[in-house]
Structure 1
Amino acid sequence: MMSNLSVLIAAWYFPPDGGAGSQRPASFARHLPELGWDCRIVTRSESIQRGRWNHLDRSLLSELPSSISMVRVDDDGPFHESGFPGERDIKAHIGPLCRRVVHEVAATNPDVLLLTMSPFILSEIPKMIPRHSETSIVVDLRDPWILDYWPIQSSRAVRRRQRALMRDMLERADGIVMNTPEAATQCMEVFGTHLRPKMIALENGFEPRHFSNSVIPRSSSIRIMHGGTFHCESLHSPRGVRARVAAMRHASRGSIDRTGRTPHHLFEAARLLRDEKPDLASRLHFDFFGHIDSGLETCVRDGGFDSQTTLHGYVEHDRMTHHIERASALFLPGGKLADGVRDPITPGKTYEYLASGRPILAALHPGSGLDLVSSCPGVYVCDPCSPRSLAAGIESVATLLDRSPEDMSLVEQRQPMLAPFTRSSIAGRLSEFMKMLTETKRSSRSTRE
C-alpha cells in the first residue's frame, strides 16, 4: 500500500480568521486528506489583533478534520530578511511565520509546499528554500497581485519592483494556481506562455451541504442581501494635503471605479423606483452583513433608505449561509473597469450565491465572474455604476419573486453549471495537479542522478 503524499500549507489567513482569504486554504485542508494527502498547516496565532479583514469566525475552525497537523506561530516580529516593497504593516509581524515555513520544509521534507497569497510578501519564501530541495513549491494566487486592478501601490517604482518580484516567484515556482480562468490567461499574456504547463485555474467554490434547505420565501417584502465588505471609502476624496499628495503618487494596474463596491448606486436605483414605481420601492429592504465602518454608515444615512436598511455586522460563516438561504435576492457588486478591459477576478461569494438558488443582482464588469453568472438562470446583470441599470435589475427580480414557486426552482436549474465548483471538486483538481508536479520533480531528479 502506497503511503500518503504530504502537503505543507502556509497561510497567513486561516480559521478562526473569517473571510474569503481564510475559507480557501481551510477548504483545501478539509478535503485534501480525503484524497490521500497528509496535511500540515503553518499559520499565525489565534490570539491576534483583529480588524476589517479578519473577524473572528470559529465556525470555520470547527469544520477542519482532526487528521490535519497544525503549527500556530505565536511569535510576532519583522521580516528583516525581506526586501519586499509594500505591505509594511504585515511585514512588521510576519517574520517568524516565514522563517517557520522554511524550517518546516527543511525538517519534514513535504512533497508539496502550498503558499496561499495574499499577503504577497509570502512570495519571498521560495527564494529562501534551496534549489535542490525535493519539495515542490506551489504558489496559490487567490488574488492575482499585479494583475488585479484593486491594489494600490505607493508609487510607480514600488509597482515596478513588485511586478519584478511576481515574475521571479512565478519562474521559481514548480506550480502556479490562479483563481479564475481570466486571471490565468492574463498571467500568461503578461509573464509568458511558457508558464502554461505548470499553471492551473482553481476557483473558490462552495460546500453543497450549506445550501441543502434553500427555498425562496413567500413574502411581499423584497429583502436584498449583501454579504461581505463594502469599500465606501471610495465615495470620498482623500482629506488633508498630505493624503492628497500621497494619492497623486499612487500607482495601480489601471482605472477602476471603486464606488461599484458600495451600496451607493443601489440606493440611487431605489430612489428612481421610489419616483417611478413607489409601490415597488416600498417593498424593498436591504440587509447588509459584514464589517461596519463610518463610511458605510454615512452611505446608508445619505442613501435615503436608512429605515429600510439593516446593518447586521459580521456574522460567522455558518450563520451567513443560513441568511443567504432566506434572502429574497442577493446583491453581487464589483468595480467598473474601462471599456474593453476584462476583470481578472470573481468575487469569492459568487459561488455560494449561485448555489443558494437565490435571484442575483449581478453588478459586475465583463470578465470571468460575469461569464459564469451570465450562464445561470435567475441572474440579472447590471452595470456596476448605473442606477438605471440596477433599477431595471430590481424590477426583474420583483417579477421573478411574484411568480408561483413552481417557476423558481433555481437550485436544480443551476446545478449542472455549478458541479465543477464544489469545494471537493476543486480540491480534487488541486490534488491531481500537485501529484503531477511531484511526479515531474521525481522524474527530473532521477534523470539527473
Structure 2
Amino acid sequence: MKDKKILIITYYWPPAGGPGVQRWLKFVKYLPDFGWKPTVFIPENPSYPIVDESLQSDVSKNLEIIRTKIWEPYQIAELFGKDNKKFKAGQFDVGKNQSWKSKLSIWVRGNFFIPDARVFWVKPSSEYLKKYLKENNFDAVVTTGPPHSVHLIGLELKKEFPNLKWIADFRDPWTEISYYKHLKLTKASDKKHRSLEQKVFKTADIILATSYTDAENFRKKGANAFCITNGFDGSDKTGNTHKNPKFTLSYIGVLEQLRNPEILWSTLNQIMQENEEFKNDFELKFVGRVDDKILNEIENSKLKNSLNNVGYLSHLEANAEMQSSDVLLMTNFPDESSKGIIPGKIFEYLATGKPILSFGPRESDVKKILHETNAGKHFSYQDSAELKAFLISQYQNWKSGITSSKTKNIEQFSRRNLTGKLSEILEAETRVRA
C-alpha cells in the first residue's frame, strides 16, 4: 500500500533547541512506521534563541526538507539589550521590578506583530507552498505553533485547497496562554488575536492540543479538537542511574519569575536550618536558563552553598542529568487558568523513573498524569506542611539507596505510541471528512 504524504510546516527544527522542536521532530521520526511519508517546511534563516546540534541525529537523511527565507524584526529587539533573547523565545519579564525596556518590548511584541514577530513569513510561505502543492500531491498538511503565525499559512492554503486536510497543532494555547494577559494589548489588538484564533479553530479539519484541558477548551470554541500529549523517546535514555554522592534535586529547562516556587526555597531553607545532615547532603541543581532574580534570591539564602547552576546543556546531556538526579522539579504558573499546561519535560522525567516534584494549580492535568503513573507528587503553592514531609521522605529514600519510584502506565506517553495515536486520528478524520 502506497504511503500517504503529509506536509509539516514548522518554525522550530534542528538545530533549534528546547522542547518546542521535539514534538514534530519525533512525530516525523515515527510517522513512516504508520504509513505516512513526511515532508518538512521550515525557514531558511531562522533566529533561534537556543541551539542544540545533538537533535540533528533524529533527522532522517531521507527526509525531504524545504526551506524559504524569513524576515524577522529582531534587530528592533536589539534596542532592548539582554531582553532580546527573551523576546525571541516568547518569554517576558513581568516581575515586580519590570524595566521600562521590558515594558516597551512587551507592548511592541503584542500590538505591532500579530499574532507574533514571525508573521512576515506568512505571505511568502503561502505563495511558495501554493505553487508547490499544485505540483505535488499531499493528503494532509500540518501547521504547528507557536509561533501561531504559522497557522495563518494553513488558513491561506485551505482557501486554495479546500479538500486538503489541515491539522493545526497547538503546542501552547493562543489567547489562553498564561502570559497573554501580560502582552499589554489594545482592545483592537486583542480583538484581532481572538478573531484569527477563531478562524483557525473553525477552518482546520483537526485541532491538536497537548493537554486534556486545552482540547476541551478548544472544543468549546468550536474546534474539532483532540489531545495528543508530548512524550518521551526511549532511544534518548542514557542508562546513567548511579547514586549521587549528594541528595540532588534538579530543575531542567527554563525557569522564569512567573513559575518561581518560592514555597520550595523557603521549605528547603527551613529543613536545612533544622537538619544539619540534610544541609550537608543536599544539592540544588539547575540545568538550563534561570531568571537572575531567582538566582539572587537563592544566593542570598541558606541554599547558596548547595546551589549548582550548570547552565544550558544539549538535550542528550540534559537527559543524563535527569538520570543522575534523585528528585526532578517541575513548576507551572499558579493561576487556575494554567491547569491545562503540561510541560514537555514531565514525559522525559517519567522515562527516568525518578520521583517528580511538581508545583502548579491545585487541580491540573499534571496532577492527573502523576497520579495515573505513580511518578511523584503535585503541590499547590500553599502546601508547605505536605511539601516538607515529601522532601524529607525522599531524602530518607536516598539515604536508604532507593534511586527510583515505582512508576506504572508510562508507555502510553512514548513518542512511537503517540505517533500511532496521531496516525489513527488522521486516518479516521480523513475518511469521515473525505
Shared fold per TM-score greater than 0.5: yes
| CA pair 156-75 structure 1, distance change in 2 beyond 3 A | closer
User: TM (normalized to structure 1)?
Assistant: 0.80
Supply the distance in 1 between the matched residues of 2:282 and 2:355 (Cα, whole angstroms): 14
Which position in structure 2 is the counterpart of 1:379? 376
Q: 1:178 aligns with which of 206, 209, 219?
A: 209
Cα offset, 1:300, TM superposition: 3.4
When the two chains are superposed, the root-mean-square deviation of aligned CA atoms in Å is 2.5
The question of whether the paired residues in 1 share the 8 Å contact of 2:350 and 2:375 is answered with no
| Number of residue pairs matched by the alignment | 393
Amino acid across the alignment from 2:419: A
The question of whether the paired residues in 1 share the 8 Å contact of 2:12 and 2:21 is answered with yes
Q: Does 1:356 align with 2:352?
A: yes
Cα offset, 1:37, TM superposition: 1.3
Which position in structure 2 is the counterpart of 1:114? 142
For structure 1, which runs of at least 5 residues remain unmatched after alignment?
A: 233-257, 443-449
Q: 1:136 aligns with which of 162, 165, 168?
A: 165
Which position in structure 2 is the counterpart of 1:12? 11
Cα deviation code 1:37-90 (max 9, x no counterpart):
111101123x54442xxx111111111122210112234368xxxx99634533
State the secondary structure of the residue aligned to 2:409: helix
Supply the distance in 1 between the matched residues of 2:23 and 2:5 (Cα, whole angstroms): 18
Amino acid across the alignment from 2:247: I
Moved over 6 A (4+): none
Supply the distance in 2 between the matched residues of 1:385 and 1:19 (Cα, whole angstroms): 30
Supply the distance in 2 between the matched residues of 1:293 and 1:99 (Cα, whole angstroms): 40
What does residue range 22-41 of structure 1 map to in structure 2 within 5 Å? 22-41=21-40
Q: 2:58 aligns with which of 40, 55, 63?
A: 63
Which position in structure 2 is the counterpart of 1:424? 416
Which position in structure 2 is the counterpart of 1:153? 183
Cα offset, 1:153, TM superposition: 3.2
Q: 2:274 aligns with which of 273, 276, 295?
A: 276
State the secondary structure of the residue aligned to 1:7: strand
State the secondary structure of the residue aligned to 1:138: strand
Which position in structure 2 is the counterpart of 1:396? 393
What does residue range 82-97 of structure 1 map to in structure 2 within 5 Å? 86-92=114-120, 95-97=123-125
Supply the distance in 2 between the matched residues of 1:99 and 1:303 (Cα, whole angstroms): 56
Cα offset, 1:94, TM superposition: 5.8
State the secondary structure of the residue aligned to 1:229: strand
Supply the distance in 1 between the matched residues of 2:70 and 2:160 (Cα, whole angstroms): 27
Which position in structure 2 is the counterpart of 1:127? 155
Cα offset, 1:440, TM superposition: 3.1
The question of whether the paired residues in 2 share the 8 Å contact of 1:226 and 1:331 is answered with yes
Identity %: 20
Deviates more, 1:326-335 or 1:306-315: 306-315
Amino acid across the alignment from 1:211: K
Supply the distance in 1 between the matched residues of 2:122 and 2:299 (Cα, whole angstroms): 38
Amino acid across the alignment from 2:264: L
What does residue range 18-417 of structure 1 map to in structure 2 within 5 Å? 18-45=17-44, 48-51=46-49, 55-76=50-71, 86-92=114-120, 95-129=123-157, 130=159, 132-151=161-180, 152-155=182-185, 157=187, 158-189=189-220, 191-192=221-222, 195=223, 198-211=224-237, 213=239, 215=241, 217=243, 219=245, 221-232=246-257, 258=258, 261-262=259-260, 264-292=262-290, 294-338=292-336, 343-365=339-361, 366-384=363-381, 388-405=385-402, 410=405, 413-414=406-407, 416-417=408-409
Supply the distance in 2 between the matched residues of 1:281 and 1:98 (Cα, whole angstroms): 58
Supply the distance in 1 between the matched residues of 2:135 and 2:199 (Cα, whole angstroms): 25
State the secondary structure of the residue aligned to 1:336: coil
User: TM (normalized to structure 2)?
Assistant: 0.83
Supply the distance in 2 between the matched residues of 1:49 and 1:125 (Cα, whole angstroms): 19
Amino acid across the alignment from 1:437: E
Supply the distance in 2 between the matched residues of 1:390 and 1:90 (Cα, whole angstroms): 42
Supply the distance in 2 between the matched residues of 1:93 and 1:171 (Cα, whole angstroms): 22
Supply the distance in 2 between the matched residues of 1:224 and 1:29 (Cα, whole angstroms): 33
Supply the distance in 2 between the matched residues of 1:15 and 1:303 (Cα, whole angstroms): 39
Amino acid across the alignment from 1:73: T
The question of whether the paired residues in 2 share the 8 Å contact of 1:344 and 1:368 is answered with yes
